[in-house]
């Protein structure tokens, strides 16, 4: 993509109406635009990052047998009354044709449970797992944290259905492993901590995934031996590490990037959703749910990976793999390299602008934060100046070396 054509604009200063550093960075660098509190539009740069995050999540959900579906945002009042959640604080309520009461889905247990009920009848139909990656809505009273707490946000929810607790427990562990892979692929693994939370009536614990971050909203209590934590709510019941019994838990700030929960029969009971077992007896379906918000993950990445110059994207979610910057008067050499890179299938943003200064181009590249920076200038002759965002070392490399590095 040529930067002269890109639909974006960076701001000279951080926007004054944002509090979170991630929102300041993402708005200033031209990734997102605020339509109103908690509601953002994704510009081409931002949508590329979001789609890369969603694709990583999709692949890992498919790998644990999740089947992708798409459920509606518009939902009838009746299903929310069945589960006793129609009066939920953050539910957006509205009227449809014929004055019918509707909700905008903040989560989809109320639709997925009766949907699965039309498909699952027998133990032979189990287990099953389906997931959605789509827009959800919460009428947050305070939405001051950019993508970290949206009124409209992107969400992945996986729902699983089982014949018994043991089967759920096994699947739950598989999803835990899938989540670990996702954090690794997003570059968040070293700072994301499985956090014990209370489990409701069905299970002793549920789990949150918390990314350590000084500006995070949540407080967790970290066991530095096990690299797991206990959340604020649970710490009052339990003062020790649930894995090793360690009593020295360290208070930390964090952002919740995922949570997984053994629902048990909570929703299947609400909808009277049963299956017939091998002995032809009706049994309640056991459910699990597994949430992870791609837009919040994007906000988290920008919140934790930045410096005073801008964002530092992990390579897997960088909007482009490389940022090629021309500083020569004649754009031809850089254009040749650009065409070579494109031919090799390398995803590159090419700063071909004639009306921007060298300083402007370089500081904008730092702000945008694409992983690999390539500069073509008079002083480097035939070579290309290579630098990785967030590192100091600059190398002179040939076309061939660059292609080898980036392929």
Decide if 315 contacts 305 (C-beta within 8 A). Answer: no
Report cis status (omega within 30 of 0) of the bond before 92: no
Q: Contact letters (x/-) for a second copy, 333-362, by CB under 8 A?
A: ----------------------x-------
Q: Which residues lie closer than 8 Å to 74 by C-beta, 6 or more apart?
A: 96, 102, 103, 104, 105
CB atoms closer than 10 angstroms to residue 356: 15
Question: For a second copy, which residue of 17, 59, 63, 94 counts as binding (CB under 8 A)?
Answer: 94
Among 12, 13, 16, 141, binds a second copy (CB under 8 A): 141
* From 135, 198, 240, 363, residue interacting with a second copy (rule: CB under 8 A): 135
Does residue number 40 form part of the binding site for a second copy (CB under 8 A)? yes
Nearer to a second copy, 174 or 383 (CB): 174
**160 touches 168 (CB < 8 A):** yes
Of 63 and 94, the one with the shorter C-beta distance to a second copy is 94
Q: How many residues bind a second copy (CB under 8 A)?
A: 55
Token code pair at residue 154: 């992107």
Residue selected from 15, 33, 199, 356 as contacting a second copy according to rule CB under 8 A:
33
Q: Give the shortest CB-153-to-a second copy separation in angstroms.
A: 10
Q: Which one, 37 or 235, has the nearer CB to a second copy?
A: 37
- Decide if residue 65 touches a second copy (CB under 8 A): yes
Give the DSSP letter string of 13-59: S--TT--SHHHHHHHHTTSEEEEETTEEEEPHHHHHHHHHHHHHHHH
Please identify, using beta-carbon distances, which residue of 294 and 369 lies nearer to a second copy.
294
Note whether 118 binds a second copy by CB under 8 A.
yes
The whole-angstrom separation of Cα 349 and Cα 332 is 16
Cα-only R_g, the chain: 24
Strand, helix or coil for residue 326 = strand
HSE-CB of 144 using CA atoms within 13 angstroms:
8
> Cα(first)–Cα(last) distance of the chain, in Å?
17
Candidate segments 30-38, 219-227, 250-258, 390-398, binder of a second copy by CB under 8 A:
30-38
SS3 of residue 312 by DSSP = coil
Q: Assign residue 87 a region (left: φ > 0; alpha: ψ between -120 and 50; beta: otherwise).
A: alpha
Q: Which of 61, 130, 168, 301 binds a second copy (CB under 8 A)?
A: 130
DSSP string, 222-237: EETTTTEEEEHHHHTT
Q: Which of 28, 52, 149, 151 binds a second copy (CB under 8 A)?
A: 151
CB closer to a second copy out of 108 and 321 = 108
Quick one: CA dihedral 331, 332, 337, 338, positive or negative?
positive
**Least distance to a second copy from the beta carbon of 152, Å?**
5
13 is a contact residue toward a second copy (CB under 8 A): no
User: Taking the complex as a whole, how short is the minimal distance between the CB of residue 296 and a second copy, in angstroms?
Assistant: 15
47 binds a second copy (CB under 8 A): yes
Q: By CB under 8 A, tell whether 44 contacts a second copy.
A: yes
**Which one of the spans 29-37, 163-171, 310-318, 334-342 is the region binding a second copy (CB under 8 A)?**
29-37
Q: Is 71 in the site for a second copy (CB under 8 A)?
A: yes
In the complex, least distance from residue 247 CB atom to a second copy, rounded to whole angstroms: 41
Task: Give the CA distances from residue 312 to residues 32, 97, 373, in Å, rounded to whole numbers and listed in that order.
Answer: 16, 47, 12
Q: Of the candidates 6, 88, 235, 403, which one interacts with a second copy according to CB under 8 A?
A: 6
If one asks whether residue 152 binds a second copy (CB under 8 A), the answer comes out as yes
Query: What string of DSSP letters covers 243-295?
Result: TT----PEEEEEEEEEEEEEEETHHHHHTT-EEE-TTS-EEEPEEEEEEE-HH
- The one segment of 95-103, 188-196, 278-286, 340-348 that binds a second copy by CB under 8 A: 95-103
Q: Are 58 and 339 spatial neighbours (Cβ–Cβ below 8 Å)? A: no
Q: Which DSSP category does 208 fall into?
A: E
Q: Which of 69, 88, 276, 397 binds a second copy (CB under 8 A)?
A: 69
Q: Enumerate binding residues for a second copy (CB under 8 A).
A: 5-9, 33, 35-37, 39-44, 46-47, 50, 65, 67-76, 92-94, 96-97, 100, 104, 111, 115-116, 118-119, 124, 128, 130, 134-135, 137, 139-143, 151-152, 355
């Amino acid at each position: 993509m040529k930067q002269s054509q890109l639909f974006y604009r960076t701001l000279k200063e951080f926007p004054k109406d944002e509090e979170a550093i991630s929102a300041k960075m993402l708005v200033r660098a031209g990734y997102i635009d605020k339509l109103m509190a908690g509601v953002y539009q994704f510009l081409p740069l931002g949508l590329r990052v979001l789609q890369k995050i969603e694709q990583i999540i999709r692949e890992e959900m498919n790998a644990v047998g999740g089947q992708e579906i798409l459920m509606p945002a518009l939902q009838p009042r009746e299903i929310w009354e069945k589960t006793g959640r129609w009066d939920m604080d953050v539910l957006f309520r509205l009227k449809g044709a014929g004055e019918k009461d509707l909700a905008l889905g903040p989560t989809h247990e109320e639709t997925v449970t009766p949907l699965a009920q039309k498909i699952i009848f027998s133990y032979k139909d189990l287990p099953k797992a389906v997931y959605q990656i789509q827009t959800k809505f919460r009428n947050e009273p305070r939405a001051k944290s950019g993508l970290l707490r949206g009124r409209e946000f992107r969400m992945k929810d996986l729902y699983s259905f089982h014949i018994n607790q043991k089967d759920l427990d096994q699947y739950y562990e598989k999803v835990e492993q899938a989540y670990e892979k996702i954090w690794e692929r997003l570059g968040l693994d070293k700072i994301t901590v499985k956090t014990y939370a209370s489990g409701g009536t069905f299970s002793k614990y549920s789990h949150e995934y918390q990314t350590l971050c000084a500006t995070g909203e949540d407080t967790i209590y970290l066991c530095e031996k096990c690299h797991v934590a206990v959340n604020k709510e649970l710490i009052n019941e339990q003062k020790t590490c649930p894995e090793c019994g360690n009593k020295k838990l360290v208070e930390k700030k964090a952002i919740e990037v995922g949570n997984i929960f053994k629902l048990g029969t909570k929703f299947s009971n609400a909808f009277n959703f049963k299956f017939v077992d091998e002995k032809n007896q009706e049994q309640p379906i056991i459910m699990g749910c597994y949430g992870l918000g791609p837009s919040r993950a994007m906000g988290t990445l920008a919140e934790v990976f930045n410096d005073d110059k801008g964002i530092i994207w992990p390579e897997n979610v960088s909007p482009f793999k490389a940022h090629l910057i021309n500083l020569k008067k004649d754009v031809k050499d850089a254009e040749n390299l650009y065409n070579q890179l494109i031919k090799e299938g390398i995803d590159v943003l090419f700063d071909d602008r004639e009306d921007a200064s060298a300083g402007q181009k370089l500081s904008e590249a730092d702000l945008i934060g694409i992983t690999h920076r390539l500069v073509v200038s008079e002083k480097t002759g035939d070579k290309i100046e290579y630098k990785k965002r967030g590192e100091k070392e600059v190398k002179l490399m040939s076309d061939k070396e660059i292609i080898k590095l980036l392929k």
